């Protein structure tokens, strides 16, 4: 794994590792080191990664895994909420949010084995596993951005266009964009990388700078830019004193508006700082990026479920109803 406390940094480090013998002419080691989220944006650590102390490395890793743990909890709870209570499935915004949560949940789940492989040499003789892991990790990352793009378009229709917002065959189109189109980018890595596009020497990730730019940085940067433009229009619409617009917006609570803004800001800030990490990989930039990236799922839960009065009321009714049933059953016995 990347050693932050060696001179000029190094991918060759044995801290937390033990030699297990030779397998098919490869040295096999077992390591217990985890890696923080910021390394995802660093394609050439030997040139771009600034020297970090062991303590700074520990902070980044700790923040990343606390954030991912909370995000997995938040995303699962959000999905359960929107599936359990049918009134949460009535409009396109809710469906898009559910799909976004699902894609981010997969990203967080796949990041855990992805991180472990960065500190173990087993992948050197596990080419197929590394390729599958890198492919799926890449796919769900792009899918999450596609669903954020769909959410941005839906919210633009809700807050800006308002009238004539019907989109024919919305669910077919959105699922095509959100789940099928993202397959193009990891497939390009496989084809152009001659089946070794995800088997970098030190991690199961895109091993070529040009491929990284084409299939990862370019699509997410384009979506970030487009979302930020739509976000500007939405902000202007929300704060514009227009009687017609104001009447339509009464459907939306302040919490829902705040949740929408949070989603846009979270996506934009997260990956803007990710791009900044490429340019200036200082500890502060990596820390902000790690926080924004890893806590994103928890923020979605916080704004769309915990701070939403309708969702809290639904859960309260659910617990009261099932509590009463349980009490009745006990009394009958």
**CATH code of the domain containing 278:** 1.20.1070.10
Number of domains, the chain: 1
pLDDT of residue 282: 80
**Alpha-carbon span 278 to 129, nearest angstrom:** 28
What pLDDT was estimated at residue 21?
Answer: 61
Helix ranges, 280-308 (H): 283-294, 296-301
Determine the 3-state secondary structure of 167 from DSSP: coil
pLDDT at residue 264, as a whole number: 66
In a domain, 46, yes or no: no
Domain for residue 323, yes or no?
no
Provide the 10 A C-beta neighbour count for residue 25.
6
Q: Which range, of 25-34, 120-129, 235-244, averages the lowest pLDDT? A: 25-34
Does residue 73 sit within a domain?
yes
Q: In which domain, by residue range, is 293 found?
A: 17-37+52-317
Is the pLDDT assigned to residue 138 strictly greater than 50?
yes
Q: Measure the CA–CA gap between 261 and 258, rounded to whole angstroms.
A: 5
Q: How far apart are CA 160 and CA 237, in angstroms?
A: 6
pLDDT higher for 82 or 160?
A: 82
d(CA 259, CA 297): 12
Q: Show the tokens assigned to 325.
A: 């049933």
What DSSP assignment string belongs to 84-112? HSGGGGSSHHHHHHHHHHHHHHHHHHHHH
Does any domain span residue 4?
no
| Residue 2, domain member (yes or no) | no
- Looking at 45-59, 68-82, 188-202, 213-227, which range is the least confident one? 45-59
Q: What is the mean pLDDT of residues 285-302?
A: 87
Q: Residue 313 falls within a domain, yes or no? A: yes
**Does residue 60 carry a pLDDT above 60?**
yes
CB-based contacts of 162: which residues, under 8 Å, 6+ apart? 244, 245, 248
Indicate whether 43 belongs to any domain. no
Query: CA-to-CA distance for 58 and 287, rounded, in angstroms?
Result: 11
């Amino acid at each position: 794994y990347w050693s932050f406390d060696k001179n000029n940094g190094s991918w060759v480090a044995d801290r937390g590792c033990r030699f297990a013998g030779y397998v098919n002419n490869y040295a096999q080691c077992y390591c217990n080191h985890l890696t923080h989220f910021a390394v995802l944006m660093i394609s050439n650590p030997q040139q771009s990664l600034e020297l970090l102390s062991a303590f700074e490395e520990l902070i980044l890793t700790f923040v990343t895994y606390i954030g991912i743990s909370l995000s997995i909890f938040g995303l699962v709870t959000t999905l359960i909420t929107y599936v359990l209570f049918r009134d949460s499935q009535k409009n396109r915004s809710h469906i898009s949010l559910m799909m976004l949560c699902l894609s981010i949940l997969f990203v967080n789940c796949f990041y855990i084995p992805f991180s472990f492989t960065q500190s173990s040499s087993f992948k050197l003789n596990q080419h197929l596993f590394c390729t599958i892991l890198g492919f799926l990790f890449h796919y769900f990352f792009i899918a999450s951005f596609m669903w954020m793009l769909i959410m941005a378009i839906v919210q633009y229709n809700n807050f800006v266009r308002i009238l004539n917002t019907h989109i024919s065959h919305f669910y077919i189109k959105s699922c095509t964009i959100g789940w099928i189109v993202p397959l193009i980018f990891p497939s390009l890595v496989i084809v152009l990388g001659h089946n070794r596009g995800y088997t970098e020497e030190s991690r199961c990730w895109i091993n070529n700078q040009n491929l990284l730019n084409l299939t990862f940085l370019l699509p997410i940067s384009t979506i970030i830019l487009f979302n930020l433009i739509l976000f500007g229009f939405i902000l202007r619409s929300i704060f514009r004193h227009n009687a017609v617009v104001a009447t339509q917006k009464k459907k939306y609570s302040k919490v829902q508006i705040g949740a929408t803004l949070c989603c846009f800001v979270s996506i934009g800030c997260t990956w803007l700082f990710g791009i900044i990490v490429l340019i200036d990989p200082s500890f502060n930039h990596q820390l902000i990026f790690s926080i924004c990236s890893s806590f994103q799922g928890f923020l979605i839960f916080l704004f769309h479920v915990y701070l939403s009065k309708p969702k809290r009321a639904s859960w309260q009714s659910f617990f009261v109803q099932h509590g009463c049933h349980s009490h009745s059953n006990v009394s009958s016995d």
